[in-house]
Structure 1
Amino acid sequence: MDGRTKLSILLMSGCQALMNSTTSIMISSAALVSLLLLGDDKSLATVPVTAVVTGTALMTIPASLFMRHVGRKAGFLCGALLGIVGAAICSYSIYVGNFWGFAFGAMFVGMYTAFGNYYRFAAVDVAGMKNRSKAVSYVLAGGLIAGFLGPQIASHSKDLFLPYVYLGPYLAIIGLGVIAMVLISFVSIPKMSVHQASGEQRPLLEIIKQPTFIIAVLSAMIGFGVMSLVMTATPLAMVGCGHQHSDSFNVISWHVVAMYGPSFFTGSLISRFGEYKIIFMGALLGVLSVIVALMGLELMNFYVALVLLGLSWNFMFIGGTTLVTTTYKPSETSKVQGMNDFLVFGTVATASLASGQLQEHFGWEVVNLGALPLLGLVMILTLWNMPMFRRMRTVA
């Protein structure tokens, strides 16, 4: 990769860090804000987090189509602006004590995430297919900064504007969005040529019936869905077990570090071992996370389980993202990427909403047990479709 390419990927990695810092602020604090804004029924506490993911799911396909017409750069700027608007609505809702207004603002933040999730695909556009796994990994590595930045912003700014607890973090999101817009303005992303944009396209059903596409999307769907299911419930479970709010911030912080830290070498691992083996390893790490979570409710159990969960997400999401880029032609990019992310974040929204209900009515153990059959499905399908086993079945 030349210097200009590396600079653009570095800038997008910075934008990814700012976007994920916004997301981690929401994840680490939104449920706790809800506890302050709600009445007696606390089962709705995860609704704002669900609203974030719902906003992401609803905007995923429109964002892809919008960027097809106006370009990635304009799309990223538009997305950051939506995040700023959403944070302003959340801030005002906290000020006036309006729970549903807070959830509505959270949905706009989710729309910002829908645009930002295409940074990883834009990295492939910049670096080319030959360097796709490393490009995706390097951009997602920006989330490592978010692991420290987001939860720490939430923790240290939550009491800045007393008696309006948690107003500070949402005002900070506005600042993060402004910085992201500045960085985006310096990114250089090649535009799709007329030939690429207007080339022959297969029916979407034909594309999604490919075994490779199914494995890729399931890996990202289940990896992200399981992560959302468990992580969303974590602050509620920890506070319910008697741990401090600051403990939940720190656990989420290390979880996010585990999500993005391995990205510096995940691309190299994929290049060496292939997407299938990395996806399988990610699912296995998810199973280990559940085992640790079920072993006890001590603070260390939460730390270890959430770190393993973060590693699981990294391998499954990056492995799935890299694999899905091999299943479509340049002319099919927008519709396939849009469908991929719609399925992924539709799953995440469902998992997030289910998380609060399961935690409130059945408890932490059931939340974790719900992840096992999903992870097992990915392990079985990935192993069955792994190239070396496909060759063995063909010979037999």
Structure 2
Amino acid sequence: MDPAVNSADNPASAPAETQAATGAIKDKAAWRFVWLLSGSKMAQILVTSITVSFVGIVGGDLAGDAAYGTVPMMVVLLSAGLITLPASLLLARFGHRRNYVLSNLTGSAGSLAVALAIPWHSFPLLCLGCVAIGFYHAFAQYYRFSAAGAVRDTEKGQAISTVLVGGILAAFLGPVIASFSQEMFPPFIFIGPFVVLGGILALNAGLFAAVRDAPATVADPDRPGRTAGRIVRDPNFVIACSLASFSHLMMSYLMTATPIAVVGCGFPPDAAAQVVQWHLVAMFSPSLVLKFIDIDRHLWRIVGLGCCFLMGSLLILLGGQRLIDFNLGLVFLGFGWSFVYVGASTLLVTTLPQADQSKAQMINELFIWAASAAAAGASGWVLAVIGWFHLVVLGCIPIAVMACLAIAASRRRKLDHLLQA
């Protein structure tokens, strides 16, 4: 039968076919946007890798006191936390493209400011550059939520994991960039890496400027959502936000102090960069598997596994101060963070109504960055005052909190299923 005749005889078939084709095109556009965000995540992790590896060492040198070495990293985290609220409002008002272009350009300028602070021996300029890098991170932290909002409800967990996959390549490129760029501006070995970061972020801004926004889920205007006060009392939000915050606190606490401890044990700066590299590989490599798993169904098994890896990290780090101890300990830390973080993010985007998502994500990120900033600032002081061993022992506290939350939430979900049955 002639397709044209069939379409004429059945008018309803043409709109249905057109609607299906349109839906397929939108799905492809959404996943193209997800993969762009994955590439942008790679750029963000490059920034994190080089910043964490070197900014503490540079900060201690410029300040003249190793105890102040973690201050620049704390400035990055505080800046990101303070910009989190405006970033959420700007993303909702002006969309992805403009804001991600602006944030990447700001991060580029901040990286160049850090590079200039080294030959000028200016600790204030270093901190100013870190403020701009924090501004960049405040927007980049929404990449996973932008991805989740662009796809179908059943694909949100996979979209979040896909964005995190971008960090794997960055974990390998970071040390390579750090190594070859250290010789760009002798005798200052730390200028080159930050100059390269400035170029990468400028390029990423150009990529965002060249694309159109993917279709995202829009909240129903007739249902404006709950107030922030009601959202923070929602048990699902409390659990998701607490897990995400404590996992970041744990990671920031150990990841900020470890490069300083590595150099303090007599290892070269390249060794510290290598430790951070394998930590970053471990942070994002689980996403290669998680993107194929029904995360919502196995949520609490994933979170529980993450807590086990975090505890394993502490046990390894307590076992000695050899380079292999630092490497393996931070690999376990990365695995643990990944499982808890993906589980917490999936819980947030799947259990709260769409009308609440913007406020919930904003509050969630505020808590994450506050926890990270506090941990980064405290870790340098703890390391200087009570030493590496006691610093690691204190890491048991957030792990115990996360484990209790996971056990309580898992039992609550089982009870809900029994009552519904």
Q: Normalising by structure 1, report the TM-score.
A: 0.94
Helix, strand or coil at the partner of 1:108: helix
After superposition, residues 135-284 of structure 1 pair within 5 angstroms as 135-185=159-209, 186=211, 188-191=213-216, 193=218, 196-197=220-221, 199-271=223-295, 273-284=297-308
Helix, strand or coil at the partner of 1:326: helix
* Counterpart position of 2:14: none
**Residues 389, 128 of structure 1: alpha-carbon distance in 2 compared, 3 angstrom cutoff:** closer
C-alpha root-mean-square deviation of aligned residues, in Å?
A: 1.9
CA distance in 1, matches of 2:109, 2:102: 11
**Residues 221, 331 of structure 1: alpha-carbon distance in 2 compared, 3 angstrom cutoff:** same
Task: State the AA in 1 paired with 2:59.
Answer: S
**Residues 76, 387 of structure 1: alpha-carbon distance in 2 compared, 3 angstrom cutoff:** farther
CA distance in 1, matches of 2:84, 2:152: 23
CA distance in 1, matches of 2:42, 2:417: 43
- TM-aligned CA deviation for residue 107 of structure 1: 1.6
* Counterpart position of 1:18: 43
After superposition, residues 81-96 of structure 1 pair within 5 angstroms as 81-96=105-120
Task: Give % identity.
Answer: 30
1:296 aligns with 2:320: yes
CA distance in 1, matches of 2:349, 2:296: 17
After superposition, residues 297-376 of structure 1 pair within 5 angstroms as 297-376=321-400
Of residues 287-296 and 68-77 in structure 1, the stretch that sits farther from structure 2 once superposed is: 68-77
Task: State the AA in 2 paired with 1:189.
Answer: A
Unaligned runs of 5+ residues in structure 1 are none
CA distance in 1, matches of 2:333, 2:48: 17
- TM-aligned CA deviation for residue 82 of structure 1: 1.3
CA distance in 2, matches of 1:31, 1:233: 9
Q: Normalising by structure 2, report the TM-score.
A: 0.89
Task: State the AA in 1 paired with 2:269.
Answer: H
* Counterpart position of 2:53: 28
CA distance in 2, matches of 1:59, 1:189: 24
Query: What are the Cα deviations for residues 108-135 of structure 1, in whole angstroms up to 9, with x where unaligned?
Result: 1011011011110011111122100000
CA distance in 2, matches of 1:150, 1:354: 26
CA distance in 2, matches of 1:105, 1:70: 25
Q: Conserved in 2, the CA contact under 8 Å of 1:262 and 1:311?
A: yes
CA distance in 2, matches of 1:203, 1:108: 31
Task: State the AA in 1 paired with 2:151.
Answer: A
Task: State the AA in 2 paired with 1:49.
Answer: M
Q: Conserved in 2, the CA contact under 8 Å of 1:84 and 1:178?
A: yes
CA distance in 2, matches of 1:200, 1:272: 26
CA distance in 1, matches of 2:257, 2:221: 42
Query: What are the Cα deviations for residues 300-332 of structure 1, in whole angstroms up to 9, with x where unaligned?
Result: 111110000000110111111111113433332
Q: Conserved in 1, the CA contact under 8 Å of 2:257 and 2:380?
A: yes
Q: Conserved in 1, the CA contact under 8 Å of 2:41 and 2:166?
A: yes
1:123 aligns with 2:127: no
Among 91, 94, 102, which residue is 1:78 paired with? 102
CA distance in 2, matches of 1:394, 1:77: 48
Aligned residues: 393
Based on CA coordinates, which of the two structures has the bigger radius of gyration? 2
* Counterpart position of 1:286: 310
